[in-house]
Amino acid sequence: MKLKHKVWLLSVLSLSLLFLGSCGTKSIANQDIFERIEETPEIFWGVKNDTRLFGLMNIETREVEGFDIDIAKALTKEILGEDGKATFVEVTSKTRIPLIKNGNIDAIIATMTISEERLKQVDFSNVYFDAGQSLLVKKGSPIKGVEDLDANTTVLAVKGSTSALNIREHAPEAKILELENYAEAFTALQSGQGDAMTTDSAILLGMAEENPDYTLAGDIFTDEPYGIAINKGQEAFLEAVNQALATIKENGTYQEIFDKWFPNVNN
C-alpha cells in the first residue's frame, strides 16, 4: 500500500475509534446522578462561601458553615445513609447555573429563589426557606425603604441574583451597580460606592449582625422562596431530594437547623 493510503486509512480508523468511544460514555452533565450516588455515595452541593447564616467559609477550620450547609448535610444523610458524603463546591449567584449545567455539581443549595426564568433552565425542589428582598444602609441614612430610592441614589446588587432584576422594577429611577458576589457588594457599600445594598433580608441580617454600623431599611418588598436547583432530566435524584426534605421536616431535624441559625425568627 502506498504511504498516502496508509495515512488515510489510519486517520479513518482512529476517528471511528474516537466516535465509538464517545458513544459509550455520557458526558458528566448527562449522567444519571441517582445511579451514580448509589454506587459512589457522594453528593456535590453548590453552596455560597461568602454569605453569613447560609454558607460562609470559616477561615480557621476551612469548613463552610450555615443553614444551607446543614440542610445539605441532613439531606445527604437521609438519601445516602450515615456513610454518605456531602462535598461542597463554591458558587456565586452568577456561576451557580453554569456550574450545574456543566455537571460540576449535582445540586445548588445557595439562597436561590425559585423563579419562572430559572425554571426554564433547571428544576427546583419544593420550597425549603421563605425569604424576601430588603435594603441594607448605614445607620442614620436618609433611605428608610425602597420608596426612597430615586435618581440620586445608587443601589448595590449582585450579578445573577433576582435582587438585581427586582430592584429595576421597584426603583426604576435608581442607579444600580452590580458586583460579583456579596463580599464585594458589602465592601462597596462600606466604601461609599452606593447608598444602599439590596438582597434578601435574611442575608442582610447576617451582615448587619456582623457590622453594627449597618441596618435594614424598610420592609421586604418581594417574595423569594428558596429551592434546591437540580439539572433537568434528573427526576430520580429530584424525587429523592424532595422525599428527604419531607422527612427532615417531619422528624424535627429541619426545625433544629432553623432554630440554630435563626433563633429569633418564628417558623
Which residue's C-beta sits nearest to ligand GLU?
Answer: 161
| 163 is an interface residue for ligand GLU by CB under 6 A | yes
Contacting ligand GLU (CB under 6 A), which of 224, 238, 245, 248?
224
The residues near 214 (Cβ < 8 Å, ≥ 6 apart) are 136, 137, 138, 139, 189, 207, 208
Which of residues 34 and 127 has its CB atom nearest to ligand GLU in the complex?
127
Contacting ligand GLU (CB under 6 A), which of 158, 229, 245, 248?
158
> CB 159 → ligand GLU: shortest distance, Å?
9
**What is the bridge-based pairing of β-strands 50-51 and 55-58?**
antiparallel
> CB 192 → ligand GLU: shortest distance, Å?
22
Which of residues 153 and 201 has its CB atom nearest to ligand GLU in the complex?
201
> CB 65 → ligand GLU: shortest distance, Å?
17
Measured from the Cβ of residue 40, the count of other Cβ atoms closer than 10 Å reads 9
Q: Residue 135: phi, psi to the nearest 5?
A: -125, 150
> CB 163 → ligand GLU: shortest distance, Å?
5
Contacting ligand GLU (CB under 6 A), which of 153, 198, 199, 253?
199
| Position 258, amino acid | F
| 68 is an interface residue for ligand GLU by CB under 6 A | no
The answer to whether 205 and 53 are in contact (CB under 8 A) is yes
Contacting ligand GLU (CB under 6 A), which of 200, 201, 227, 228?
200
Which of residues 70 and 200 has its CB atom nearest to ligand GLU in the complex?
200
| 231 is an interface residue for ligand GLU by CB under 6 A | no
Which of residues 126 and 247 has its CB atom nearest to ligand GLU in the complex?
126
| 162 is an interface residue for ligand GLU by CB under 6 A | yes
For cell 454506587, name the residue: 39
Q: Which residues bind ligand GLU (CB under 6 A)?
A: 93, 110-113, 131, 158, 161-163, 199-200, 224
